Chains A and B, each alone.
Chain A
Amino acid sequence: MIGYRLILLLCCALFAAGAIADTPDGATIAHQGNGHGVAPCMACHGADGGGESAAGFPRLAGLPQAYLRKQLDDFANGSRRNATMQPVASALSDAERDALSQYYSKLAIPNATPASAPSGGTAQLGQSLAEHGRWSNSLPACEQCHGPGGIGVGDHFPPLAGQSAVYLGNALHAWQQGARHNDPLQLMQSVTSKLSDADIAAVSAWYASQPLAVPQEPKP
C-alpha cells in the first residue's frame, strides 16, 4: 500500500516537472539563462533584480510587466537599439519574454540606499526639471507623466526614482540621438530634444538619489 502511494506521488511529481518544463520559468531564466544562448539576466541586472548602477544596468525589479515586455520586443525589433540587449531579446521566445516580464514585475524592490544626492546647481537644475519642467521651452516636468517623486505611473511611464543615473543618462541620450524610438506618441523624443547635456546629467543624478517610496508632504 505504501509502495503504491509512493509510485503515485512520483508520477505526480514527474508530471508536474514536465508541465513546468513546457512553460518557461522567469526565475530560472533570470538565474540560469534559457539554455539556448541567453545568459542569466542576473549577471548584469543582479540576483535581486536591482541592477548595477555604476555600469548603467537598470533595476528591473518592480517595473511594470507590460513595460518590460514591450522593451524586450523593442530590443529585438530594433526600435530600442542596444548592442547587449538585442541578441538577448532576440533569442528569447514569446513565452520566455512573458515569463521574464512577469517575474521581474513581481520581484520585490530591493532595499537599496539611493545614490547620494547631487548638490548645488546640479541639484537645483535636476529638481527643477523633475518637478517644474521648463515651459518656456514647452518642456513638461518629468513628474507630470512619471508621477510624484518619479515613482512611475501605469504601464507606460516607468519609475525613475532610485534608478541608475548612468542608465537614465544613457536612455535620455539614446532618445535624443534616435537610437531609442520606441516611446508612445514620441513623448520622450520630444522631451529629450529640449534637453542639454547638463540637463540630462542633472535630472539623471536627481532621480537616482530619490527614494522609491512616495514623498510625504507635510499636512497643510
Chain B
Amino acid sequence: MKPLRWIMFGASLSLAACHQPAQQAAAPVSNTPVPATSSPKSASRFEPPSESSIPNDEFGKQIALGRQIFIDPGRYAKAYVGNPLSCENCHLDAGRLAHSAPLWGAYPMYPAYRSKNHHVNTFAERLQGCFQYSMNGKAPPLGDSVLVALETYAYWMSKGAPTGTSLPGRGYPKLPKPALAPDYARGEAVFKRDCALCHGDNGQGQQVADRTVFPPLWGPQSFNWGAGMEQVNNAAGFIKANMPLGRGNTLTDQDAWDVAYFMDAHERPQDPRFNGSVSQTRTAFHDTPDSLYGVTVNGQTLGQGSSKR
C-alpha cells in the first residue's frame, strides 16, 4: 500500500507541475521552487489582443459593450441577472486570464455537443446558460443585444485562435484526484484560514456602494445549483489556479479540493430545471460524484434551494 501511495503522490505532483502557469515563475511570496518542466505550454500560450486594440468603430462599440456587460452585468444586462455576481468573478481579467476559463479558450470550441443538455450548442446558447445558472437569472433570447455584444467580445478576443482546438489554459485546471476524499471539516478550516477574510465568515461576500467586491459563494445571492461551479472538480480547479486572488497556486491540491467541497456543500438557489423532486433532479442533471446536489452532508440533504433574495 505504502509504495503505491508514494507513486500516486509523485504522480499528482508531476501533474500539478503541468498545471503551473508560466507566470508562477515570478510569484514571489511562496518560495516553492518552480519545478523544471519540458512543457512547451508557456511558449505556445495564446495571447488575446490587447484592450487598446479595440477598434474605434461600430464593431468596436459592440466589443466594448460586451466587455462592460462582462464586468458589470448587474448594470449592463440587468434584465437577465438575478444575483450580484459578475462574469469576471470566475473569468478573471475580464475573461482574458488563462486557467480561469478565458473567453478565447471557449469561443473557438463552439458549436459543441454538451452532455449537460444533450444537443449541439452554439456559443450564444452557451452564454444563455451562464445567465440562467451562474447569474441565477434568465436567458436573454437568441439575437438579444446582450448576447450579440458578449459574443462579439469573445470573438474579438479569440483573434488568431484555431477553431476546434482546445488551447492550453482553456477552462480550469483539472486537478488530480486528491489523496484523501474531500472533507467538509478540513475544507472549513481552509476557508477560515484563506478565504473568509474576503468572502466573509458565512460566504456572503462583501459589497461596497452597491457594488460587489468579493462575490457571495453560497446562499441566496450566489450562483444556483445548475451552475458549473457547483461541481466540486470545477471549483477546485478554479480555486487552485486563482485563489487567494493574486496568489494562485499557493494552496495544495488537497486544500483546493477540501475547500471547494466545503463551498459546494452549502445551499444555494434551486436549479431552474428542478422537477419537484430533489432525487429525480439529481438523477436527471447531477448524476456525478462531483455534484453534491441531493447528497446528504452533515445531516442535511442538499438541493433544497435557498430562496431568491
Contact = CB atoms under 8 A, between A and B. Distances in A.
A109 to B, nearest CB: 15
A147 B207 CA distance: 8
A190 B247 contact: yes
B28 A193 contact: yes
B28 A194 contact: yes
A133 interface: yes
B76 interface: yes
B245 A145 contact: yes
Interface stretch (B92-100, B226-234, B269-277, B282-290): B92-100
A145 B198 contact: yes
A147 B211 contact: yes
A153 B26 contact: no
Contacts of B23: 136-138
A70 B246 CA distance: 23
A138 B208 contact: no
A139 interface: yes
Nearest to A133: B93
B213 A153 contact: yes
Given A135-B96, A138-B23, A187 B208 contact: no
Contacts of A136: 23
Contact of B75 (A137, A140, A220): A220
A156 B208 contact: no
B16 interface: no
Contact of A187 (B24, B96, B244, B248): B244
Nearest to A192: B28
Contacts of B94: 132
Given A135-B92, A137-B23, A220 B244 contact: no
B127 interface: no
Contact of A185 (B27, B75, B247): B247
Nearest to B24: A138
A105 to B, nearest CB: 16
Nearest to A213: B209
Contacts of A132: 51, 93-94
A35 interface: no
A185 B194 contact: yes
A186 interface: yes
Contacts of A187: 244-247
Given A138-B248, A186-B247, A220-B68, A151 B24 contact: no
Interface string A175-213: 000000000111101110110000000000000000000
B297 interface: no
Contacts of B194: 185
A191 B96 CA distance: 19
Contacts of A214: 208-209, 211
Interface string B203-214: 000101101011
A110 interface: no
Interface in A105-155: 132-133, 135-140, 143-145, 147-148, 151-154
A185 B244 contact: yes
Contact of B208 (A139, A151, A185, A191): A151
Max chain B CB contacts within 10 Å: which of A137, A145, A151, A191? A145
Contacts of A156: 197-198
Contacts of A138: 21, 23-24, 26-27, 246, 248
Given A194-B28, A217-B75, A148 B209 contact: yes
Contacts of A193: 28-29
A144 B94 CA distance: 12
Contact of A153 (B76, B206, B246, B248): B206
A138 to B, nearest CB: 5
Contacts of B209: 147-148, 151, 214
Interface in B233-247: 244-247
Contacts of B21: 138
B26 A186 contact: no
B26 A148 contact: no
Nearest to B100: A135
B29 A190 contact: yes
B144 to A, nearest CB: 14
Instruction: Find the residue from A133, A185, A217 having the highest chain B CB count within 10 A.
Output: A185
B237 to A, nearest CB: 17
Interface in A145-169: 145, 147-148, 151-154, 156
Contacts of B26: 137-138, 194
A133 B97 CA distance: 12
Nearest to B193: A185
A190 B214 CA distance: 19
A137 B23 CA distance: 6
Nearest to B51: A132
Given A138-B21, A147-B209, 6 more contacts: A136-B23, A140-B246, A144-B213, A152-B208, A156-B197, A193-B28
